[in-house]
Chains A and B, each alone.
Chain A
């Protein structure tokens, strides 16, 4: 089945620690995205990538980093510089950077210990 796989489902971060969230897609989509969702708030864009080896900051990129070495993979690192990392993180993809239809993974809940 085609889709987007996010792992792990739950993740705990200690203070001062960097953690990496995995996102893999087999939809052959060019564009991939990371969103953060906080209770009662809409989705906020962290980073996006329209093509391999290229990515752009979204609205709330501070304290996060990404890489796009393969078309299928777009991992997100939450660094120690992100002071309020507790949130539900969603990875998404679209056929191209010009297509508005997003397909989402099932999310990763990150909490601080």
Chain B
């Protein structure tokens, strides 16, 4: 069993839809949770960064962490074609980036 599981998709939705991206994990020691967005043939960029459980909102993006279920989510409201990218979850126990564990990424397409 992989330490972090992420549905690879692909996921295709119409413009304006609410998108839900998810990751599950097995290591209960994870405390830092991140979402990266990666456009085709580009490097990932940090989108959301949360510590422990709870929600964090930034514009159209909401990151949710449920440590009791070992489940994290990224919600995108009013999705735009420019949101089309691969979304990677990543998590860490707090011992530095060298301990980050990445999901395999979900490829998302927003159709105009």
Contact = CB atoms under 8 A, between A and B. Distances in A.
B26 to A, nearest CB: 14
A74 interface: no
Interface string B70-112: 0000000000000000001010101111101111110000000
A33 B105 contact: no
A16 interface: no
Given A31-B96, A33-B98, A40-B104, 16 more contacts: A6-B43, A33-B97, A40-B105, A42-B6, A42-B105, A45-B100, A50-B98, A90-B43, A97-B96, A97-B97, A99-B96, A100-B92, A102-B97, A103-B46, A104-B44, A106-B42
Interface string A91-110: 01010111111111111010
A110 to B, nearest CB: 13
B105 A97 contact: no
B66 interface: no
A100 B96 contact: yes
Interface residues of B, number: 26
Contacts of B104: 40-42
Nearest to A4: B43
A48 B92 CA distance: 16
Contacts of B101: 42
Interface string A69-88: 00000000000000000001
A27 to B, nearest CB: 13
